[in-house]
Structure 1
Amino acid sequence: MPTSSRLSVPSPDARDRLLEAASSLFASHGYQAIGLRDLASHLGLRAGSLYHHIESKQGLLFELIESSLTDLLYETRQCLKGSRCTSERLQRFVQAFISFSQAHPDKLTLLTREAVNLSDEQTQHVEQLKADYSALLSEIVVAECGPASVPQARLIAQAVLSLLCGQGQWGTLGTAREQMVAFVLGIVWTGKTQRLPDSGAAF
């Protein structure tokens, strides 16, 4: 597993402010456009003082993306608890994603746009978390469509995640949750009846 950038620091509140500021600046301006001096200036600190909180700018980005994916997985699994049927699990999966994207729009941006700036080792770890999240959806699709859908389940999951992530980036998620759930159900139904082309990675 990649070395974590989390270090012991005397002020958790200051570190939380650092993480929030970095997430906001990286999301709004782009990781490459923001240097540690910019981040320090935003916080009213000297650039050198940031190294009391982080190991590197890239390590900071990795921590933000890793924690975002971990939170998304956890919140989705919590939302799925108590579902009475497979169809309800699918709806809850979509609702959990929408709720996450509304509560943490910057995190969604980092997940979908900035992971390309990670090291190979960090990327491998992030890709495993993404695979775990996609597998969770694939399991729901298989349960909804039946055992014969196993070869299609990954493709259907990719199509659904592409829709959700794409809509989230355009800023329209959550304006009509029922419609979004209906779109997802339509993708799953299409996967039942015909072969879907590989849509590639969603994030």
Structure 2
Amino acid sequence: MAETIPRREIILQEAAHLFREKSYPGANLRELARRAGIQGGSIYHHFASKQEILFQLMDHTMTDMIERLTERLADTRTPSEKLRKTINFHIEYHVTGPDQTYITDEELRNLTPENYLKVVEKRDRYQKIIEQILIDGKSEEGWQLDEPKLYTRALIKMCAGVSTWFKPQGSLSVPQIGEAYIRLLCNGLLPR
């Protein structure tokens, strides 16, 4: 028997797609309701406002990314292996949920100040996980690394960008792209 997706989840999925397609300011709730298969006013049974929908999308995405990455790294010991798992995770996550990750990356400016601070706090927690891997790689494995924050941001953007050009039927799979990125990054970190 097929699993029924809760209406709230359908609205969030459709909102992510609509906001990516038309931008948050360009999207309206009437069209969102139509895409979600409900009457216009029914959205208010699930969400108080369009702003709440945007915030819920971003907050859920960042929470999910933190939890999944932490889980994936749980039994990993070396910085090299943590880096490999992190790169693969970040690419996979962005390729499998491009609407949600795009919104989380590109629509921060449309959050209210209070919601902005909440999402950025989670984004910073996620970045800290990656930054710590790089710092540990420097101290434990001799990686050549002078700006951990800069390298972290570059790594995140490089991996997230795969979702803009990746095609499942393309010549490289997600794991193959991850390995290529790992080689690219690690060759720059090797002791000289």
TM category, shorter: 0.7 to 0.9
- Pairwise CA distance, 1:150: 8.4
CA distance in 2, matches of 1:103, 1:168: 8
CA contact (8 A) 1:109 1:169 kept: no
Q: CA deviation at 1:55?
A: 0.8
Of 51-60 and 156-165, more deviation after overlay is shown by: 156-165
**Please, what TM-score do these two structures have when normalized by structure 1?**
0.79
- 1:159 maps to 2:160: no
Per-residue deviation, residues 136-172 of structure 1 (Å, max 9, x unmatched): 1111001101289886211221221121223333447
Instruction: Return 5+ residue gaps in structure 2 as ranges.
Output: 168-172
- Measured in 1, the distance between the counterparts of 2:20 and 2:53 equals 13
What TM-score do you get using the length of structure 2 for normalisation?
A: 0.84
C-alpha separation in 2, matches of 1:55 and 1:186: 50
Q: Which residue of 2 aligns with 1:4?
A: none
1:130 aligns with 2:131: no
Q: Secondary structure at the match of 2:80?
A: helix
1:27–1:109 CA contact under 8 A, matched in 2: yes
What is the rounded CA distance, in whole Å, between the counterparts of 1:34 and 1:123 in structure 2?
A: 19
Aligned match of 2:170: none
Aligned to 2:183: 182
Counterpart of 1:14 in structure 2 is: 7
RMSD: 2.5
Of stretches 56-65 and 112-121 in structure 1, the one that deviates more from structure 2 is 112-121
1:77-127 Cα deviation digits (max 9, x unpaired): 111121131100011111111121122111111111112110111111111
Q: Distance in 2 between matches of 1:168 and 1:102?
A: 5
Alignment of 1:60-71 (within 5 A): 60-71=53-64
State the distance in 2 between where 1:180 and 1:128 align: 27
Per-residue displacement from partner, 1:50-96 (whole Å, max 9, x unpaired)? 10100100110000001001101111111112113110001111111
AA of the residue aligned to 1:156 = Y
Structure 1 residues without counterparts, runs of 5 or longer: 1-10, 194-203
Give the distance between the partners of 1:150 and 1:176, measured in 2 at CA. 23
Inter-CA distance 78–34: structure 2 relative to 1 (3 Å threshold):
same
Q: CA deviation at 1:185?
A: 2.2
Q: In structure 2, what is the equivalent of residue 84 of structure 1?
A: 77
Q: Which structure would you say has the larger RCO, counting Cα contacts within 8 Å and 6 or more residues apart?
A: 2
User: Mean Cα displacement is larger for which, 117-126 or 77-86?
Assistant: 77-86
